[in-house]
Amino acid sequence: MGDDQALRIPRHVALIMDGNGRWAKKRLMPRSAGHSAGMNRMIALAEHAKALGINYMTVYALSTENLARPKDELDGLYSLIKKYFLKNADKLIKDGAALRVIGDLTLLPDDVRAVVEEGVARSYKDAEFTFCIALAYGARREIVNACKAAAAKDEEVTEETLGSLMYTGDMPDPDLIIRTGGEVRLSNFLLWQAAYAELYFTDTLFPDFTDECLDSAVAEYSRRTRRFGKV
């Protein structure tokens, strides 16, 4: 990456992995091929993030809105999860990473949910690097669920209370949120946690988002001044 000593490495990077389908379409391939390429890139990118010294990486793999996509596309994605999730989970865990999954897994088919839960059960609970996958995830649903949980506990609703009840309650908020694929929005991803995150958008389709692309995003983050509302 160049002079690493001059860089300020974000503790937590979140990534909206957009463009898998368009990547496949450009190559006259089925969308499932794009999801497969994206999954391979996701795992390689997690390994690179760990090597950079990033402590947490959260990736947006499947939103609640994505669940309304055509059945054949969802079936293809579910097939990839069932075929490769445990293999990839074991690879990351062997490399010393902790694996987490956030979202409403009850929205997934039973066989897919079972595979995901098994992978998480195999993981370390604490590690220097945590790889967090958002599946069947929606930030608005997450916030509503946190409010309901606070009410059920009869707790005073404060920023601290709600923050602790988010899926990521024991993780630091993301310092940097990256979106690939050319769209410039958060699409219901980590809305509560993104309050003071630095945002980085790129036209690069996710399967083409190389390790060097992540280096460039981190370098851009390092050049920014974070004031958190202060002077």
- Is 145 a residue of the active site? no
- What gap in Å lies between CA 174 and CA 196, rounded to an integer? 8
Q: State whether residue 98 is helix, strand or coil.
A: strand
- What gap in Å lies between CA 135 and CA 25, rounded to an integer? 24
- Is 18 a residue of the active site? yes
| Residue found under tokens 């509302």 | 229
Which residues 6+ apart lie within 8 Å of 155 measured at CB?
Answer: 161
Q: Which of 20, 40, 55, 66 is catalytic?
A: 66
Please provide the distance, in angstroms rounded to a whole number, between the alpha carbons at the two ends of the chain.
31
Q: Which of 3, 4, 18, 88 is catalytic?
A: 18
Number of H helices and number of E strands within the chain? 7, 6
- What gap in Å lies between CA 24 and CA 56, rounded to an integer? 29
Q: Hey, which residues are catalytic here?
A: 18, 66
